Structure 1
Amino acid sequence: MKKLAFAVTAASGAAAFIANHEADASTQHTVKSGESLWSISQQYGVSIDEIKQNNNINNNIVFPGQVIEIGGSGSQGQESSSNAASGGSSHTVQSGESLNIIANKYGVSVDEIVSANNLNGYIIYPNQTLTIPGATGTGGAGGSSTETPNTNTGGSSASDANLYDWGQCTWHVFNRRAETDRPISTYWWNADHWANNAAADGYTVNNSPTAGSIMQNYEGPIGHVAYVEQVNPDGSILISEMNYNTPPGTVDYRTIPASQASSYNYIH
């Protein structure tokens, strides 16, 4: 039994050595639903702190679809040098920013930022560092929307002012729609009234989610709404929301399985 234990230990050590060797060469990992920084660190044989440092992550949260760098401690500096040489720059994502906002700021297109950073979708996260290719400064006109514009521009039903209670789910969704140039009314009242009021204002309401639509349900005493960040190939959806699993004012991300997605209303 001692020989067997030694063999297992040796094999484990060899696996750890190989994992660390591969991590030193640097690789990219796309976060899957259910994964955490801990499970990813165990998979590659690196520490959580190393992953956080290499990806400028200030907390322990990762999101499905997020691409993170594993290993290659010198990759950050090399990337910065490469960016400088190519005339690009880097940008640290601030809370509330979208790819469309950043693209407009630097005078580049959303697709250029997606390509330069090997993003798998249009989701970005606070404190994430993005490479901005060939940036021309701030306020440029080269940006493009990350989502298809809604045929309903809001008219008199849309508003620039967010009059919903701060930090609530309705407040968050109003802001996300405004960030993506798809304004909604500030007078739809509590979340359980949104589907009917949106339909009355001329918005399309159905059970088919699309990126940028509003998910609405009747959970709790006054319902709940969330913003659909992306629809995944398997039919599941990634939503952002406030005041559901987190305190008011804190954005959270959640994946709704494909089997449940069609059970909600979606405002387009």
Structure 2
Amino acid sequence: MSQRATHVDDVVLSQGGFIMKMSASSVDTPVRRDVTYYTIKPGDTVQSVAGRYGLTLDTLRWANNIADVTSVVQGQRLVVPPVNGILVKVQPNTLLSGLAIQYHVKVQDIIDFNLIRDPDHLKPGTMLMLPDGVGPSLADPGVGKKTIRSVTWSRFGQQVTNYTITYSNAPVTGSGGKFPYGYCTWWVAHKRYVPWSGNAWQWWYNAQQFGYAEGQVPMVGAIMVQGISWASPVGHVAYVESVNGDGSFTVSEMNYGGWGRVDYRTIKSTAGLDLLGFIY
């Protein structure tokens, strides 16, 4: 008696010894690791674009430095990360340990997702995806803002500082950790996790003790630290909101223009700021 041939191309043997038909859904989908781009079309919103790619709204805002989702216009090109989390550009002084601490991810997760072969020698200019990383608070600074003044002053005939200040009238709520409300330290600790203590100028040295990377290049989410000066005997700290195409950068801060008052300062030159640097 002849036997009917059985095709087993699409079956697997289970742990219990039973033959089971493979489901298409049981096959692992390749992880998307490439950064893509999307151009805003009529009717698009930041929320709809995020949903199109299966991303959270925060992930898309972090990747594109979007403070006000209503400011995105038709024709604008958005960076689309491969997965939820934080997309960062490697700087000459970037350390994986610093990124892991700042964005609350594991170093090994960064290495695995980005297929990094030599973690100690990152290539400046390349992009790193920090899967499930947590970025800065995204409260909309566009609400209640009012531009007050532009400041330009000179010393010995040379421009020392040039910046614009935009004061916010929006109410501030939330926590600043161990720091007292109304001061610059409270505001920065309100914007991102700060494990150390001390006056503003001491943050530069205290952050080193906690393993945070530091440098002289402004980066989104970094802490700008100014040393002791005639204007502030305890120094000053601010939070970097954006790095702009013209080389300037914008910080948010408290107690620069008055106790408990928040402003957004776009800095075109750091000369004369008694700048110690940036904590990443």
> TM-score interval w.r.t. the shorter chain?
0.3 to 0.5
Bigger CA radius of gyration: 2
Per residue, is there more strand in 1 or in 2? 2
